[in-house]
Amino acid sequence: MYKFNTKLEVSNSRKTPKVVVVEPWANDYTLLPNEELVIEALDNNEMPWFHVREWDGTTQVYVQVGMDFEVRQGSRVLQCGHNRQSET
């Protein structure tokens, strides 16, 4: 159990998939249209916070302070590569 946590919800309102990358771990999660996920950053020493950068089809979420993180859809914990699309 960590002393501090912060959550960020990301939604895809596009008609195409959106990649969400959590840094500095470089874990990627693909949101299909109308899907959402929650990123929770965890730390024992101070309150985590996020820096978000957007570009075509990708959202980069950098955890500025945090020892660990978890990504969920509802009660389900997502693994790196969730819904990854082929590049064909």
Provide the pLDDT for residue 86.
80
Q: Is residue 87 part of a domain?
A: no
**66-84, pLDDT tens digit by residue?**
999 999 999 999 999 999 9
**What's the CA gap between 28 and 2, in Å, rounded?**
23
- The answer, yes or no, to whether residue 1 has pLDDT greater than 90, is no
> Could you tell me the residue range of the domain that residue 59 belongs to?
4-77
Q: Is residue 14 part of a domain?
A: yes
Residue found by looking up tokens 């309102």 in the block: 13
Residue found by looking up tokens 């874990």 in the block: 27
Provide the pLDDT for residue 88.
59
Q: Is residue 85 part of a domain?
A: no
**What's the CA gap between 33 and 46, in Å, rounded?**
34
Task: Please give the tally of structural domains in the chain.
Answer: 1
Q: Indicate yes or no: pTM above 0.85.
A: yes
Q: Is residue 88 part of a domain?
A: no
**18-38, pLDDT tens digit by residue?**
999 999 999 999 999 999 999
- Contacts of 84 by beta carbon, 8 Å cutoff, 6+ apart: 28, 30
- The answer, yes or no, to whether residue 63 has pLDDT greater than 70, is yes
Provide the pLDDT for residue 22.
98
